[in-house]
Copies of this chain bind each other. A is one copy, B any other.
């Protein structure tokens, strides 16, 4: 992970792009890339989306990476340790959605919120 962060920083700084990469612009870019990822599955059913992903692994892979790169950079510029942030959130989710109440409930997130 640390290597990836270094590489993203180097890529940005060689191009003098840090001036544009404030947290808001990075969050905007994450949303834009997330929508490009979603577009791959537009109009498809869940099953069709699964088949499409299996047959177009490189396209899916690239769109996932685009979101991930900006997300790693946003964590970096805001001084957040992404691995620790994920662990902390998983802990919180485990408390928020206890197994016995959340099991197999399709309205899960919404109703348990």
Residues of A participating in the B interface, judged by any CB pair closer than 8 Å: 1, 4, 7-8, 11, 14-17, 19-20, 22-25, 27-32, 34-50, 52-54, 57, 60-62, 64-69, 71-72, 74-75, 78-80, 82-83, 85-90, 92-94, 97, 99, 102-110
Contact at A62–B89, with CB atoms within 8 Å?
A: yes
Copies of this protein in the complex: 4
Contacts of A35 in B (CB 8 A): 31-32, 34-36
Contact of A103 among B4, B11, B16, B47 (CB under 8 A): B16
Contact of A11 among B41, B69, B93 (CB under 8 A): B93
Q: A35-B36, A94-B11 are in contact. Are A80 and B103 (CB under 8 A)?
A: no
